Chain A
Amino acid sequence: MNNKTETKTETGKSRVTDLIDQVLEAKSRHEPLKIVGGGSKDFLGRKTNGKVLSVRDHSGVVDYSPTELVMTARAGTPLVELISLLDQHQQMLAFEPPVMNGQATLGGTLGANCSGPARPWRGSVRDAVLGVRLINGEGQHLRFGGVVMKNVAGYDLSRAQAGAMGTLGVITEVSMKVLPKPALEKTLVFQLSQSEAIEKLCKWQRQPKPLSGAVWVNGQLYLRVAGAEQAVEGTIQQWGGDVIASEASQRFWSSIKEQSHEFFGGTQPLWRISLKSSAGVVDENMLLDWGGALRWTRQEASLDQIAQQCRPFGGLVSLYRDGDREAEVHAPMPEPLKRLHQQLKQSLDPYGIFNPGRLYSWL
């Protein structure tokens, strides 16, 4: 690796021919495949069976040009590798993905749509994607999107891979927008009840301040302010709160992103709720992330029960970890939308070989 402004460092090796062969074999046998990267998110989605298709060895950076703010890497590349390369140029993956003990890969992160606490302000993994290459159910290696910031030619099947859990094809390569790291980052803590925190968050998020994280847990609201030095200092002065030490701050945000915070401990089912940030208190014991737009709860209950509890708040519930993963993990979908999902899947995976049932039992 060199330190020139324009880095064109290709690392690792392409295994794409091998991957295509495995897809073609599965196609001819009509045999389902279970696509695996680093294996770090096996807990996510529904339990599925299938012959393992490992993308892990299809790894390495294909191209990285810091001043273009674009990085292209093979799907099996561990995120930690990308992050350390970006670090050398004071850049970052803006969507702050969990690295899952170093096991998380780029392809898996996109497939599972994993974005960290910075997501409301810096965008999701979907938002960072510029293009992908993927193998469809016919074993064709296709390229969608590109390596430039703006591209409206053809249907965008690249960003559409986010959250598809590998059911639309085998992602082999991802090009994404990267961003410079902020010059300064500080964390403020406030002692507030959940409803007070939501009220404050509504007020503060309407202000043009360089917020990059907002989490409420156990009576404490944590705000991360990041950007130009003067902007961070100015915001802190205006908002008040206790500034915590930089190491403690990093530990805290990492524990939220990686779900190693004690809140996430235990074995009760972990539920994820997506709703508008200003929604009121659904349950006093939830953890709030994304400025209020993402809420977590650990409890023994059925999907229906939690969904019913969240309905008045407009929340969409998913079972994230533990619990019954033979059953559906997402709330049911209206019939016409379900049909569009099935037809789209069919268009890319006509033989139904990619991760069948991982997202929904019927998909």
Chain B
Amino acid sequence: MALSKTQILAELVSILPRHCIISDEETQRPYECDGLSVYCEMPLVVVLPESVSQVQSVIRLCHQYGIPLVARGAGTGLCAGAMPHAEGIVLSLAKFNRILEIDPDARTARVQPGVRNLAITEAAEDYDLYYAPDPSSQIACTIGGNIAENSGGVHCLKYGLTIHNILAFDMLTAEGELVTIGHEGLDSPGYDLLSLLIGSEGMLGVVTEITVKLLPKPEKAQVVMAAFDDIEIAGEAVAGVIAAGIIPGGLEMMDSYAIQAAEEYCHAGYPTDAEALLLCEIDGTTEEVQEHVDRVEALFHQLGAITVRTSRNEAERMLLWKGRKSAFPAVGRISPDYYCMDGTIPRSRLAYVLKRMNEMSAHYGLRVANVFHAGDGNLHPLILFDANVPGELEKTEEFGGKILELCVEVGGCITGEHGVGVEKLKQMHAQFSEEELAQFHRVKDAFDSRGILNPGKGIPLLKRCQEYRSIESAK
């Protein structure tokens, strides 16, 4: 039996201080979506608890009455994974924003889930340590959200994803029981539940405290920028760097649209006549950086770069990165709206994927700019559109869906780091068989038999269930 809003509020007031509950529409408004604002929904209530035991009480309440519960960090996600449920509660962990401990000798930090990604690195700076994953939203996004999405960033190839940089966390199960997953050592007996839970989009538990791994800050980093007049040659140059046995700290590619937009926006000195631009960051010990920069420069020249430039100091390095990091807003300036996609492909298929994408772009009459984490094959096509033109958003979504299916066709996947959420539910059928999706549902049941945690996200209904549903509704 579902509870009404009034009944839920009455229950909440008995477990939370009044100031931790938001139930009026106006104050709830900012919670209606995450970073993907085309998907909006108003929840019944938003709660912002201040202690783990309060969170526990909220979860127990939801479990008892079967109330949908959507946990939320900073809401910077890009797949509507944190979009509220119309009949449910949004659980904001924003008040869990304390760094509890930094252990420089063990190179770990113990933090609450609402701590911002960048704040961890800032706090570790005194010890010359840092937290490696750096999604582009790192100023705002929280570590709890990073765990939900298994966030990446521009340094994944060398330093890994969130899963590679988390040692342990405390989690409340769907029944409201507190468990510790992982360990401060490097592994622990039993199932590797960290693997399963990191990236599970808040559907299997609610994380309340996290131990992250910190790394020593590299002595030095330099960026080699190389421009090419052919995107295929740029792709070969990326393969060339890897074949030379060098793993760059970051290896990014931009196409001509993205280059021009970024250059206009922040004057990083990108050659605007280039078809493709590579930013290759080499980090490590001073000697290693010198050795590898020399080799990478020579390699780029040899492989046909039209311009090669290396940052000579930190200011230049930051400027070269600034162009890349602001590519999204920069593209935003050349178009009323843009839609950011997130597929991963085997790097060798890049030229083919871009060619197909151009054909589709012509077909739909929509421009696409591309930024590419070339090191790890994660492609971010930005589809430019105008939401004020009737039907253009729908056309954009269809085009985006086709791009993701193309990624699967060449052996890649529908999402590298943004997650499935609501947005890519449909494309899950392209990547997984019905049997595989059914297995995911059984895993969900194992952790959340009442289906209260972020229902309706991540894993689509099975086709046979969808048909059943449409028969039911047609009755």
Which residues of A pack against B, CB within 8 Å? 5-6, 65-70, 90, 113, 119-120, 123-124, 126-127, 136, 140, 142-144, 146-164, 168, 179-181, 183, 202, 205-210, 227-231, 233-235, 274-278, 290, 293-294, 314-316, 318, 330-331, 333-334, 336-337, 340-341, 343-344, 346-348, 359-360
Which of B24-32, B101-109, B272-280 faces chain A? B101-109
Complex alpha-carbon distance, A6 and B218, angstroms: 32
**Interchain CB contact under 8 A, A156 and B291:** no
Nearest B residue to A205 by beta-carbon distance? B107
Complex alpha-carbon distance, A348 and B218, angstroms: 42
Q: Report the minimal beta-carbon distance from A181 to chain B, rounded to whole angstroms.
A: 7
Task: Pick from A147, A209, A333, A344: contact of B196, CB below 8 A.
Answer: A344
Question: Of residues 166 to 198 in B, which have CB atoms within 8 Å of A's CB atoms?
Answer: 173, 175, 177-181, 183-193, 195-196, 198
Q: Report the minimal beta-carbon distance from A196 to chain B, rounded to whole angstroms.
A: 14
Complex alpha-carbon distance, A274 and B433, angstroms: 38
Nearest A residue to B152 by beta-carbon distance? A150
* 9 sample A-B contacts, Cβ–Cβ < 8 Å, listed by A number: A152-B199, A153-B414, A154-B440, A155-B200, A156-B195, A228-B287, A230-B290, A276-B184, A343-B446
Question: Of residues 445 to 464 in B, which have CB atoms within 8 Å of A's CB atoms?
Answer: 445-447, 458-459
Asked whether A340 and B446 contact (CB < 8 A) given A149-B378, A154-B432, A156-B163, the answer is: yes
Task: Pick from B192, B290, B347: contact of A160, CB below 8 A.
Answer: B192
Question: Of residues 228 to 281 in B, which have CB atoms within 8 Å of A's CB atoms?
Answer: 239-240, 242-243, 245-247
Which residues of chain B are near A343, meaning CB under 8 Å?
Answer: 445-447
**Interchain CB contact under 8 A, A293 and B188:** no
**Interchain CB contact under 8 A, A119 and B186:** yes
Q: Report the minimal beta-carbon distance from A195 to chain B, rounded to whole angstroms.
A: 13
Complex alpha-carbon distance, A113 and B177, angstroms: 28
Counting CB contacts under 8 A, is B129 at the interface?
yes
Which residues of chain B are near A227, meaning CB under 8 Å?
Answer: 284-285, 288
**Interchain CB contact under 8 A, A151 and B192:** no
Asked whether A153 and B411 contact (CB < 8 A) given A70-B346, A164-B192, A336-B179, the answer is: no
Complex alpha-carbon distance, A227 and B375, angstroms: 19
Complex alpha-carbon distance, A278 and B107, angstroms: 9
**Interchain CB contact under 8 A, A126 and B192:** yes
Nearest B residue to A359 by beta-carbon distance? B190
**Interchain CB contact under 8 A, B190 and A275:** no
Contact with A along B118-160 (1 / 0, CB 8 A): 0000000001110000000000000000000110100011001
Complex alpha-carbon distance, A347 and B437, angstroms: 13
Q: Report the minimal beta-carbon distance from A149 to chain B, rounded to whole angstroms.
A: 4
Which residues of chain A are near B411, meaning CB under 8 Å?
Answer: 146-148
Nearest B residue to A277 by beta-carbon distance? B106
Nearest A residue to B436 by beta-carbon distance? A142
**Interchain CB contact under 8 A, A160 and B191:** yes
Q: Report the minimal beta-carbon distance from A148 to chain B, rounded to whole angstroms.
A: 4
Asked whether A202 and B164 contact (CB < 8 A) given A68-B348, A210-B288, the answer is: no
Asked whether A153 and B198 contact (CB < 8 A) given A123-B160, A127-B164, A164-B191, the answer is: no
Asked whether A150 and B428 contact (CB < 8 A) given A155-B196, A278-B103, the answer is: no
Complex alpha-carbon distance, A117 and B230, angstroms: 43
Q: Report the minimal beta-carbon distance from B352 to chain A, rounded to whole angstroms.
A: 14
**Interchain CB contact under 8 A, B106 and A152:** no
Counting CB contacts under 8 A, is B345 at the interface?
yes
Counting CB contacts under 8 A, is B381 at the interface?
no
Which residues of chain B are near A293, meaning CB under 8 Å?
Answer: 185-186
Tell me which of B191, B215, B432 has the highest count of chain A C-beta atoms within 10 A of its own C-beta.
B191
**Interchain CB contact under 8 A, A168 and B192:** no
Which residues of chain A are near B199, meaning CB under 8 Å?
Answer: 152, 155-156
Nearest B residue to A344 by beta-carbon distance? B446
**Interchain CB contact under 8 A, A152 and B415:** yes
Tell me which of A146, A153, A274, A333 has the highest count of chain B C-beta atoms within 10 A of its own C-beta.
A153
Counting CB contacts under 8 A, is B358 at the interface?
no
Tell me which of B199, B290, B428 has the highest count of chain A C-beta atoms within 10 A of its own C-beta.
B199
Complex alpha-carbon distance, A293 and B414, angstroms: 37
Top 9 A-B residue pairs of the complex, sorted by shortest distance between their CB atoms: A230-B287, A180-B245, A159-B195, A274-B185, A231-B288, A150-B416, A149-B376, A343-B446, A330-B189
Complex alpha-carbon distance, A320 and B376, angstroms: 36
Which residues of chain B are near A347, meaning CB under 8 Å?
Answer: 439, 442-443, 445-446
Counting CB contacts under 8 A, is B75 at the interface?
no
Complex alpha-carbon distance, A6 and B183, angstroms: 39
Task: Pick from B129, B190, B290: contact of A337, CB below 8 A.
Answer: B190
**Interchain CB contact under 8 A, B195 and A148:** no
Tell me which of A67, A151, A206 has the highest count of chain B C-beta atoms within 10 A of its own C-beta.
A151
Asked whether A230 and B291 contact (CB < 8 A) given A140-B435, A150-B416, A152-B418, the answer is: yes
Which residues of chain B are near A277, meaning CB under 8 Å?
Answer: 105-107
Complex alpha-carbon distance, A153 and B164, angstroms: 17
Asked whether A151 and B415 contact (CB < 8 A) given A162-B192, A274-B186, the answer is: yes
Which residues of chain B are near A146, meaning CB under 8 Å?
Answer: 344, 411-413
Counting CB contacts under 8 A, is B332 at the interface?
no
**Interchain CB contact under 8 A, A113 and B192:** yes
Which residues of chain B are near A160, meaning CB under 8 Å?
Answer: 191-193, 195-196
Which residues of chain B are near A140, meaning CB under 8 Å?
Answer: 435, 439
Q: Report the minimal beta-carbon distance from B434 to chain A, rounded to whole angstroms.
A: 10
**Interchain CB contact under 8 A, A163 and B192:** yes
Complex alpha-carbon distance, A224 and B160, angstroms: 22
Which residues of chain B are near A210, meaning CB under 8 Å?
Answer: 284-285, 288
Nearest B residue to A331 by beta-carbon distance? B189
Complex alpha-carbon distance, A341 and B188, angstroms: 13
